[in-house]
Amino acid sequence: MEPQLQHSSMELFQGGGPEFSVLVVSALSRPLDLGMLYNVRNDRLIPGFTLWKTEDIKSKTHVRPHHNTWLQVAMSESLSEKTSLLDVSASLKASFLCGLVEVGGSAKYLNKKTSSSRHCSVTLGYHVTTEFKELMISELETPKPELFDKTDATHVVSAVLYGADALMEFQEMASDDSKKQEIQGNLTVMIKKIPSIEISGDGSLKMDDEDKKKVKNFSCKFHGDFYLKELPSTYEEAVKVYKELPSLLGEKWENAVPVKVWLYPLSKLTNTESKLKKMISERLVSLVEKVMDDFHQAEVRTNDLLKSSKEIKAEEIVHKLEEFQSSLRVFTTELLRKMRDLIPAIREGNMEETALRDLLKSQDASGFSVKEMEQWLDGKETEINVVTMNIKQLKCEIKLPGRELDSLLMDPDVKDVFVFSFTSLSYEEPYLKTISKAVENFKSGSAISTPEQDPTQEVPWYKRPDVKENLASSRSVFKSVPFKNKVISFISDPDHPGASVCWYVNAALKDPRVTSMPAQFACKLTLDPNTANKHLLLSEGNRKVTRVKEWQPYPDHPDRFTLSPQVLSREPLTGRCYWECQWDVSGGNYLDMGVAYQSTDRNTYLTSSDKSWVLGVYDNKYYVYHSTFSAGVPTPPSRSSRVGVLLDREACTLSFYSVCSDTLTLLYTFENTTFTDEPLYAGFYVGEDSSLTLC
């Protein structure tokens, strides 16, 4: 509650404009005192000049106590809520927003800005007033009119309300958007509990375990008019400081500072024309405030998107966001500069309010309207999300084109490198050109015209259905690659929108768009009759094997499997080999396929031998076996009766794929398998009423 001024010294001019009214403004931790001169046109005090002698001011000062203490809790980061915590008037707010006013102490809180939308914050405002000093102007000698010609002052400080403000901002960063509401709620609840929390004899806070858990990650920033030996940084420290605040003002409030001042118009002292003609309307100040809030929200969102794009190393997106941010900052700086010139001119009567209103309209014409900024940032967010979701599925290291990727390609120990490349991130951004041109025109004073929309503008790559299909197929191909050297990169390729899988061999690009990776190493196999168990019937040029009950008239041979219905290929497997097989299973019986050494025991099963590596299929479920090792394999969503097998003896890997409509889904890879120089062959087991065909 504000103190009442004595009528004799603060009589308001009835029916007059703002130039004749006593104005009340927040001190904002500025060194204002009784008798000081003040220029309301730019909200600056005028040091080194007074109308009366110091002793006269002291003798005509009336002092009375004004004790009041109250708390506020602010849960928003908006300029409106921050300025309301310090009771900033509309006129002073306009000056502060455009940089005419420099603040200190508790008012530095007004300069604080969040850098991320995941930043959760609640502010506790502690306010106290102690005494009110009023200068009895009517009892002082009227200054000579010629004194006013020596100063730009419009008012004199005629009353001061003393006290102090402390703003404790409690913060916690949310790991993601889903946590924000919970954290914001915890902040609000725990900040409101501060006045009631007790401190025990050992200096610890009396809190239950649940509350201690809530405040564990809280941080605190202190903005105040109180002198503290050490600033609080945690919730616990902030509570202790809060309890000490009343004593910090001193026994006789000697540490109190001006919190609010009354400004008496100089024109009333001499009945001369005032240098202050009008004040900026509150409605227009609110519009200025909204524009600044809009720009800050765009800045915060850009920071979040920059962080996300840097995490995935999407440099093209990073550069575009940085370009937008730079243009926004330059435009904001120039807008504030123009406002700093315009606001005092309006108050002097040299300009009309319409000039400020027209200046603010340049926001829309420049491309910095809320709608246009959000629309462009929405696009960047979608683009980042599309790239991020694909990267998460691939689970591979990211190598930037140039130094990082070249170092891998030129590594003497690396032969094959497969790159999942995002190909469409490099493209023209008409919006960025629009705002860049608008900033140039705004700085030079040229007219800013609203650009016409291009009806032929292409749909962004990340919104095209065909690109979505291409991304899916490229992911599938990339996942099917069994080699170790697989990385993600960003190589522009307009011919393959979205993504492409590139294959490098000895640093040279072998294939810019791999569509079926293992098929690159396809080999044609046939079955060896000399190894076939006598319950297996070979047909179709020895490329099909069927389990039968009747013994087949095969001659005796030392390579023949005698115990189980198994068979090996005629051709040995060398280097990299890929083959596919299709099966027909009746009654849910078992099939095995894999590789085996020539020396594999003919009286054992491939699934239990230490000389074979096998994938088993039973009732549409997959299993892998080697020696004593066995494990189940997840079944892909699309069931298939066709399996691809890729052996890479050099890389020591054996991979199995489910093949469905030319799409390969990796089932399992035996890695770090030490193959000897002994010949390897494709091996198969065929269950009852089943057959298998080499494709």
Domain boundary among 210, 239, 270: 270
Is pLDDT at 42 greater than 70 in this prediction? yes
| Same domain membership, residue 118 and residue 27 | yes
| Same domain membership, residue 499 and residue 446 | yes
What are 255's two structure tokens? 């540490």
Please, which pLDDT band fits residue 1 given cuts at 50, 70 and 90?
low
Q: Is 4 inside a domain boundary?
A: no
Is pLDDT at 5 greater than 70 in this prediction? no
Long-range residue pairs from 337-344, CB within 8 A, at least 24 positions apart, any chain: 339/97, 339/98, 339/288, 340/98, 340/99, 340/100, 343/42, 343/94, 343/95, 343/98, 343/100, 343/280, 344/41, 344/42, 344/100
| Same domain membership, residue 253 and residue 361 | no
Q: For the chain, how many structural domains are there in total?
A: 3
The predicted structure's pLDDT at residue 662: 61
Is pLDDT at 11 greater than 60 in this prediction? no
Span 620-642, mean pLDDT?
90
| Same domain membership, residue 261 and residue 290 | no
Span 263-274, mean pLDDT?
85
| Same domain membership, residue 559 and residue 593 | yes
Other C-beta atoms closer than 10 Å to the C-beta of 309 total 25
The predicted structure's pLDDT at residue 589: 67
Q: Is 13 inside a domain boundary?
A: no
The predicted structure's pLDDT at residue 664: 74
| Same domain membership, residue 643 and residue 557 | yes
The predicted structure's pLDDT at residue 413: 87
Residue 685: exposed, middle, or buried by beta-carbon count in 10 A (0-12, 13-18, 19+)? buried
Tens-place pLDDT, residues 651-665 = 888 999 888 876 678
The predicted structure's pLDDT at residue 457: 67
Phi, psi angle pair for 668, to nearest 5°? -165, 150
The predicted structure's pLDDT at residue 9: 35
| Same domain membership, residue 343 and residue 302 | yes
Domain boundary among 465, 486, 515: 515
Is pLDDT at 165 greater than 60 in this prediction? yes
The predicted structure's pLDDT at residue 18: 59
* Least confident piece of the model among 289-298, 359-368, 552-561, 676-685: 359-368
Please, which pLDDT band fits residue 362 given cuts at 50, 70 and 90?
confident
The predicted structure's pLDDT at residue 10: 34
Please, which pLDDT band fits residue 454 given cuts at 50, 70 and 90?
low
| Same domain membership, residue 562 and residue 506 | no
What are 168's two structure tokens? 């404790």
| Same domain membership, residue 527 and residue 502 | no
Tens-place pLDDT, residues 48-74 = 888 899 999 999 999 999 999 999 999
Span 600-625, mean pLDDT?
94
Residue 430: exposed, middle, or buried by beta-carbon count in 10 A (0-12, 13-18, 19+)? exposed
Please, which pLDDT band fits residue 518 given cuts at 50, 70 and 90?
low
Is pLDDT at 96 greater than 70 in this prediction? yes
More confident residue, 177 or 324: 324
Contact indicator for 169, 220 with CB cutoff of 8 Å: yes
* Least confident piece of the model among 285-289, 453-457, 472-476: 453-457
The predicted structure's pLDDT at residue 13: 35
The predicted structure's pLDDT at residue 365: 85
More confident residue, 635 or 327: 327
The predicted structure's pLDDT at residue 451: 60
Is pLDDT at 17 greater than 70 in this prediction? no
The predicted structure's pLDDT at residue 584: 83
Tens-place pLDDT, residues 204-224 = 999 999 999 999 999 999 999
| Same domain membership, residue 144 and residue 74 | yes
The predicted structure's pLDDT at residue 390: 96
Q: Which domain holds residue 45?
A: 18-270
Please, which pLDDT band fits residue 517 given cuts at 50, 70 and 90?
low
Is pLDDT at 640 greater than 90 in this prediction? no
Domain boundary among 270, 300, 320: 270
The predicted structure's pLDDT at residue 666: 85
Running DSSP on this structure, what letter comes out for residue 28? T
